[in-house]
Structure 1
Amino acid sequence: MTLYRQLLIFTVILFVALFAGIWVEKLHSTRSFLVTQLESHAQDTATSLGLSLSPVMVDNDIATVDTMINAVFDRGYYRVISFKDMEGEVITERILKVEIAGVPDWFVNLVPIKSPNAESLVMAGWNQAGKLYVESHPGFAYQTMWEAMVRISIYFLLSVSTVLLLGGLGLRMLLKPLKQVELQAEAICRREYHIQDKLPKTRELRQVVNSMNRMTNQVREMFASQSKIAENLRRKAYSDQVTGLGNRRYLSAQVEARLEAAQGVARGALLIVQLENLKKINDFDGFAAGDTLLKKVADILKQETQVIDDVALARLTGGDFGIFISAIDPADVNSVAESISRNIRKLAIEVDSQVENIAHVGGVTYDYVPTLSKLLSEADNALQGARRKGANQWLVAELSSQEDQTVKGKIWWKETLEDVLAKDDIFLYGQPVVSSADHSRVLHQELLSRIAMQSGEIVSAGVFVPLAERLQLVSKLDMVVLAKVFEQKEKMATLKSIAVNISPSSLGDSLFVKWILAQLQRLPGNAPHIIFEFSEYGAVQYIDLVKDFSREVQGLGHGIGLDHFGQSFANFGYLKSLRPEYVKIDRAFTKELESDQGDSEFFIGALCGVAHSLDIRVIAEGVERDDQVAMLLELNIDALQGYLFGQPQQV
């Protein structure tokens, strides 16, 4: 708590204590005065009224007595006026119930007042006619005390407010030098050195300011010399000269230091951003253009991670960037990776050499303390997965604490995949694609492949398919997956339509294509309609192979579909020649509908117009919330897919 607040609070406490004493004393004195007044009032009334009744009682005129008592009682200052004979029998009596208007009950209970009373004899000549009893009403006393206490409380509040206002301003002026000292100290922490020229008049404060000024000068000289040496060494050892980010050595040091400090309990992520065509840009546009692109990417990384507390950014080599984040939730890592990928993709329009594929983002999250080599290896695998998904794509994998701690390299993955292929250890999972008009109507089931590791863990296709492509095992893998599909005759008979993902590069294997066509020809009449789904980026890369394959399968009553549509910058024109049954909008565009920029909405609307003119359905993937559904329906989407309508289930 600041000194200013402490002084204000202390002042308030003093005022409250003073007010409490004055309030209690004022209440006590007022109560005593009013009680004395009531006693005097009751006695005077009893005496005077008794004398007035004596002549009337000579004639025993009770009616007149009653009239005289009523006249006095109706003034409202009495609770009881009672006239009794000498034997105690009531001749006439008036009683008023005690009701105190305008005074809170707590105040009445706090200050009890016993109603004063008085008696007098009433004579009838020389004989005693009776006794007159008068008791005052306490309401007037309570009302008078309450009004007095309210007034004094109001005066006190006004006084306190005035003192606090003026005293607060005065304290601020007196303590202003201390505030300047605080700002001076904070400035030193920021390597800013301010000198207070205006010295306070108070001797003690002036000495503090002078000492602070001397220390500031000494620290400034010390930091000036040491900072110059340290910055030069750091720039040479840990900084990238082009982007201003850290270099590989810097990132390695940061990662290892944080992992070592975790001591067995950790959570974080490592992302790798890889520019795909930096050499081409350097060759066609010059190294200055390449450096400009690197700087823009670095700026994007800084912007997207500026709100993260613990992050290390580095340019690893060439067009590779590394991002290490400590203590971050996996869901947030996905959000960061997607945002980086989306912003880097926008740089394509600024490159003179018309490069479409700018960069891929791959990353890995962890919930235990791995080694740096393992993080880099798994992040590189994820990077390959992002490359397979298409141009300018991202992928973040999870590194579970249950996994083997040894690094799984190409040899390990090759042996594992070959073992999986030999044993057919592949499982199929299905996820529905529903009609946008009727969410209960399933248009088709998309079949997704999974493999079982030796540890029993189920691994999704996004992990092992990129590795299979790099290891030239993808066509064999696709063949095993399709064989699993064709074997599901009983389950297939209950489905009208299914979609199966295969790699476009597999179509380069003529034996694989012939095998598929042969299997399709042998399918029974009740077999479902099969849609072979390709990623848009891969389909564009192998457009001629996909066209030939599409003609063949369409001739057999089946078709093809395009997944992750929008990843490539290819024109919509190729849809006319390819004629897929549907195009599935990439989930990045679905998510971008949340913003008000309108780019995603325009893209989806334009795509729907072109696709519908060619009788091609449009599917939105990654739908997870009702508000996304509402926006997509307005854009004339035909079908929806996502966790909102069902998670993948084993078939």
Structure 2
Amino acid sequence: MAHKLRGKLPGISLKAQLHLLIVLVAVFTFLVSLYISVQSTQQYLNTQMKSHAQDAATSLGLSMSAYMDDPDLVIAQTMVNAIFDSGYYADIEFRTSQNQVKIKRQTAIEYDEVPQWFVALFPLKPPLQSSEVNNGWLPAGVLSIQSNPGIAYKTLWHQARQSFYSIALIAFFSVLVIQWIVFLVLAPLRLIERQAREVSKKNFLQQDKLPFTTDLRSVVLAMNAMVANIQRVFLSLSQQADDLKVKVFTDLLTGLGNRRLLEQRFAAEQNEQKTHDLHLHMAMMSLHSLTEVHQSQGFQAADQYILLAVKELKQALEHSANSQLFRLGGSDFILLSQSSAGSLEIQLQQLSSKLKSMDSLFFPQGFASVALMTVEPENTLHHCLSTLDSAIIQRIQQPDLPLWVTDHKMQLKPEGRMAWHSVITALIQNQNFELWAQPVVKADQSVEYIETFVRFYFQHSQLSTTETYAMAEQQGLSVQLDQQVISYILNQIQDKPGRTYAINLSQGAVASALFSLWLEKQLKQLNGKVSLVFEVSEYSVLKAPDETKALMNIIKSNQCKVCIEGFGACMTSFKYLQGLDLDYVKIDAAYASALNDPENKFFIQTLCQICHGIGIQVLAPHIESEQMMDSCFTSGVNAVQGSWVLAPQKVNIQLEKSGLATELINLSSLRLSE
């Protein structure tokens, strides 16, 4: 019971414990030293009063012996009065041999400024000292004298005050010196703590300054060695994963994804298209003169031709956040994009004009042509590639053919771009949103967190989420839209504690400093009422690394978690994880969908080793079968998400009325338990 109670109590830092111990020792030492000093003075004064009274009795007795013949003892009384009036004696008495009191002088004891508690705490007891008085050879009587303790109390009180101030001053400066020494001793511990915290944030810092204390120096050296080992393993595994990704999924010349990655990416995008009702577009760029350039000018000229075309393609799509490029091999390049149809058409039309302007004698068949089509959910990759290839061939013969393969293309719900501003403004003002959710589930069937997202509606028709965000970005309303979406989600979940909910952040929100300030204010007002995870796309992290890191620091400082989604989708090194304070990464669906491939599975295992080595959990989305789920868990994935586990569920105004809540509370009803 006591052990459980101690586990619930808040801890006390070593610094606080040492400071408390030092203060307690200083106070104890001060009190004991003061008591010993006063007590010593007390004993000294008692001894002095005894000696003083005895000396006075002996001296006065000898003086009185010469006048004992006088029956009235007039001279003896005069001597006694002279001594008594000095004030140093409280009681003087002379008794004859017949026990008669002939002389009696007594005065009340006055303590003046000495407090009564001090008198009670340190009592002075002056003894009654006696001396025999003779008359010739015969004893005449006994003279008794007692010193006045009032004067001794004044002396003792002044001495106690002086001791109090001097010992207090010494104790104060001693505590300051000891505290300074403790500060110096604990400084390396603070650096060790900071080093450990930075490692948890994936920053591998080394302490160059070694402490003077040998024990702490050993600890610092051990920490440096451990951090160096962690960093070495992280860099080694990252390099291994990068090399494997280049070998398996990358075209070596251009650095773009190869056909193998295209096949996996296409399957993942179609799955997401069906799940979230997204629009997917595919474009092809073909280099018509590649064979002639290779034959007439050599392979180096052909490579330069390819790299120049890729450069133009990347520049045209530089601001397209939801587009991915692949090289089929040879002269064909593929673009997969979830961008809005209108913006994508403009970008590719500009690219087509630029490619046409590059026609010259060096390219006998023309520089390159582009074709674009909308991918329907039932289309296969082979069908799309064949359709685009046929369109490219037709464009060679008829250059003025439209960019789109078919005559009908996806029309925007609001007719015209100007209408989008009013539509998005209406969305922001009226919150025409519909809340949906989908859980992320671990192998033991427990829910890691529930991902939430919204769907937009315009005139009772659903809008494309990707297209809406893209147009909001063009209209300069993306931050306001994100703020309203997040406020809407928080209003739905903030009174439902006990679970962790995830919220997606768009690229525009991640890169906005104003949004970061707004989010920090919202999280402070929320004050930890509900556990949150914020999902940020890998593209956003790479596009705005500094802004993303600042936003992550705000999120983490408010006890929320961070997840990078689409991890591995961008053809870049995984070393960018170093320095990011992450809790989760959600691997790109293209990798999870092809775990039956040994090389792909080994790649996922390597990713899991990298992330687990630096304290990051790995999640896998779009799980569509039990085999996919089992392969993910055996590869080291911590939790999965997908329609096979539980498809996205519409959430009503009251979360507890949603079918999702029932499903999550009773996880035995999930297919996962079958």
| TM-score normalized by the length of structure 1 | 0.42
Q: Comparing both chains, which one has the higher relative contact order based on Cα–Cα distances under 8 Å and sequence gaps of 6 or more?
A: 2
| TM-score normalized by the length of structure 2 | 0.40
